[in-house]
Amino acid sequence: MNQAVMPRQNSKSPFEFTGGHLCLNFTNTVDNRKGLNRKELLTSYADLLRWAEEANILRMKDAGRLQNMAEAAPGQAKSALCSALQLRESLYALFSAATERRAIPGTALSVLNRAVQRTAQHERIAEDRRRFHWQLISPESSLDSILWPIARSAADLLTSPDLENVRQCASTDCAWLFLDATKNHRRRWCEMRTCGNRAKARRYYERQRSEL
Ligand SMILES: [Zn+2]
């Protein structure tokens, strides 16, 4: 079996879903994005499948089919992973620019628009007991189908009033993005347990030192 597409079953998940929105969770698949020990969490197509399953955008039986396809065509799986990383970095560039009120990078927007247009070719409106919803057409037959719901999620968030509540973690290394759904809109950390506590510990340590 090709190393690049081998599933890492039964190991503890490296992924966290604290972003409050699918596309933001996707941008948070890099640990310590701005730190010295930056860590890429999507290093193979199998990682991407695992993330998609944990994010609930991929059914187990579809994941199995995509895994088989990836093993049969490792070159295509690698290129699907490259497209995923390119989309992820474009989303990070777009949302971080929006949160910091910087100019929106045109190339990142073009990457998203291309993904949105590809996605639209694979979507339809389905009906179930007079309720309508978006449905993907044969996601199990395309290696990059994982990107379709992510592109739609990003398009939805960028065009929604919620864009104002997208924040970047206040930790200098982390830079994870999240949707601040708190009442007073003052959430500062991707997760208090990790980044928030680290910052608190650092402040405590600095205070102790300055008192010496
Ligand atoms: Zn953080």
pLDDT digits over 181-198, tens only? 999 999 999 987 778 777
Q: Could you give the CA distance from residue 177 to residue 184 in angstroms, rounded to a whole number? A: 18
pLDDT for 197 equals 76
Backbone angles phi, psi at 133, to 5 degrees: -155, 160
Task: Give the pLDDT band (50/70/90) at residue 76.
Answer: very high
Distance in Å, CA 208 to ligand 1 centroid = 24
Q: With a cut of 50, say whether residue 1 has pLDDT above it.
A: no
The structure's pTM equals: 0.88
Distance in Å, CA 41 to ligand 1 centroid = 15
Distance in Å, CA 194 to ligand 1 centroid = 7
Do the beta carbons of residue 106 and residue 124 sit within 8 Å? no
Which residues hold their Cβ within 5 A of ligand 1, which is an ion?
169, 171, 174, 176, 190, 195
Q: With a cut of 50, say whether residue 212 has pLDDT above it.
A: yes
Backbone angles phi, psi at 162, to 5 degrees: -65, -15
Task: Give the pLDDT band (50/70/90) at residue 102.
Answer: very high
Distance in Å, CA 68 to ligand 1 centroid = 35
For the chain, which domains are there? Answer: 17-210 (1.10.3300.10)
Do the beta carbons of residue 67 and residue 80 sit within 8 Å? no
pLDDT for 46 equals 97
Task: Round the CA-based radius of gyration of the chain to a whole number and report it.
Answer: 19
